[in-house]
Chains A and B, each alone.
Chain A
């Protein structure tokens, strides 16, 4: 029995019909996780074989048995889900892939984890990521990079690279990621899967280890848009524990997903295809446009003049917020501590050795930009430009329902390719950061292959209109086969 070719929706049908027991399903994925540990998709703190991954597996086994025994019931009963390690799960090490949090075991579930538990899904493990979600390759993980299952010499993207790897390698049918500047969509694009960054406020951030609070959003990653819609039905909604969570009504995202696209207005911004884009990516995206035309959509040219400043805006705002959000990692309550004979030295040493290079770089950058005399020029100015970027999208969505473009300018780059050049790495987010700055939902879905690596199509939508994005993505997946491309795992096994 090979479950790797089933979507989460198909798997759930089998679980519901009784053709597949929760225990068998769970064991299948746990075995695959074990078998493909070299992909480093999951974080395993502690002794190999008795560390946090084994602990998660043990909890998953207990849960699967309880589900089969009818003791735990719910609409997602038995569905394995991998959780990004920046999302807290009670009783399981939650490290955000940082040495700083190596010892941290939360006493609480993130709201989205609690919601999935309530629906009787099974958490099969915590996935690797760039430390504190800062990065675009998972190379910033304290636990080493995850590998792209399509070519293990390449990165899976980041920061939710472990989640993308897990889904693409068939280690879990569905995973949760978080997206601050493209951290769900870029790895989804690199790994040939579908990933949705919901509207800011749609999914509670409670229990998500903050990188940049005004940009962070949790979302689903899976093979298909339909699977993302399924997960969205359970993780969305207002949370009294998150002041920034929206009080908007939550539709059934799987309803209406098959509706026709006739009359849908899709905006394309010509600058998406400007310098720096890989010609193969451009071709694949332009082909996708044709598919949409055939599906009855109308293509409209739009203008997003301020998105040219999006990466610069992002690299002021995100580090500023991060510098403050990460102040709590001080060696006092739950973090790694470097002993020293004075408090200040303890702080300096703890944070000096507990954080990796990229995290320290961004903390220093953010601290500098917020410090006395610089606030107006950096944070305030960036926040004003952010207003203009949002305004651009508001204007565009007067004319169109969806904005289409590439998710990333290139396919997955090689391991180590950008590690010496932070700026080059930052530009991997060029198409994705705007959605975080504006707060709008966006999805990446596979739309081609180039030299054995997947290409991602990026759709952005109106605030709280994930339904239209999911419908557009699902209809595309009904008409194409890109989302069915699976990596050949032989390469990895031989590696």
Chain B
């Protein structure tokens, strides 16, 4: 994992993230990614107590729950208004299988 990220790998990760990256900019992206990864590499050297628990959130309380009650839904016309493509009933997207 200390190996630098190759441009090809950047392309794979970008695809996983559904972001188009042009072939021309792959090398630059890989360079920047490697610079940042190189910097965060220092975390591997931090000495940690064996039993340290990861801290995932600044709040560690529990049990924020709500009762099972219905609330009014948003009017369809209003919610579809923001959609780039809809037919008034459904959101529409290009064919999933192509």
Binding site for B on A (CB under 8 A): 103-105, 107, 200-201, 214-215, 240, 243-247, 306, 309, 311-313, 315-316, 323, 327, 330-337, 339-349, 351-353, 355, 360-361, 363-365, 367-368, 371, 374, 377-378, 380-388, 390, 422-423, 426, 436-439
Nearest-CB residue, chain B, relative to A350: B18
Contact B10 A352 (CB under 8 A): no
Q: Which of B9, B13, B74 is packed against the most chain A CB atoms within 10 Å?
A: B13
- The answer on a CB contact under 8 Å between A351 and B18 is yes
Partner of B55, one of A104, A244, A323, A390: A390
Task: Give which listed residue, A360, A387, A388, contacts B21 with CB less than 8 A.
Answer: A360
**B14: nearest chain-A partner, CB-CB:** A364
Residue of A nearest to B57 (CB): A214
Ordered by A's residue number, 17 sampled pairs between the chains whose C-beta atoms are within 8 Å are A105-B82, A311-B39, A312-B42, A337-B85, A343-B95, A348-B15, A352-B21, A355-B19, A361-B33, A364-B21, A378-B40, A387-B53, A387-B55, A388-B46, A388-B52, A423-B36, A439-B57
A439 to chain B, nearest CB (A): 3
B84 and A367 form a contact (CB under 8 A)? no
Please determine whether A201 and B58 come into contact, CB atoms closer than 8 angstroms.
yes
CB of A246 within 8 A of CB of B44, answer no
A438: B residues at CB distance < 8 A: 58
Q: Give the nearest-CB partner of B75 in chain A.
A: A107
Q: A337-B84, A422-B35 are known contacts. Are A313 and B43 too (CB-CB below 8 A)?
A: yes
The answer to whether A247 and B53 touch (CB under 8 A), given A105-B81, A312-B40, is: no
Taking CB as reference atom, which chain B residue is nearest A238?
B64
Q: Which B5-42 residues have C-beta < 8 A from chain A?
A: 5, 9-10, 13-21, 29, 32-33, 35-37, 39-42
Least Cβ–Cβ distance between A364 and chain B, in angstroms: 5
Closest Cβ–Cβ distance, residue A464 to chain B (whole Å): 11
The docked-state distance in angstroms from the alpha carbon of A331 to that of B17 is 14
Complex Cα–Cα for A306 and B48 (A): 10
Query: Interface digits, B83-96 against A, CB 8 Å rule (1 contact, 0 not)?
Result: 11100000101111
Contact at A244–B59, with CB atoms within 8 Å? Answer: yes
Cβ 8 A contact of B66, one of A240, A344, A352, A365: A240
Distance in angstroms between the alpha carbons of A41 and B35 in the assembled complex: 32
Q: How far is the CB of B59 from chain A (nearest CB, A)?
A: 5
Among B16, B20, B44, point to the contact of A367 (Cβ < 8 A).
B16
Q: Please tell me if the beta carbons of B39 and A387 are within 8 angstroms of each other in the complex.
A: no
Q: Report how far A309 CA is from B43 CA in the complex, Å.
A: 7
Please tell me if B78 contacts chain A, counting CB pairs below 8 Å.
yes
Interface pair B94/A333, CB less than 8 Å apart: no
Contact of A107 with B74 at beta-carbon distance under 8 Å, contacts A380-B54, A390-B55 already known: yes
Known: A316-B43, A364-B17. A374 touches B74 (CB 8 A): no
Of A214, A306, A311, A368, which one neighbours B33 at CB under 8 angstroms?
Answer: A368
Cα–Cα distance between A74 and B54 once the two chains are bound (Å) = 44
Q: Are A371 and B16 in contact (CB under 8 A)?
A: yes
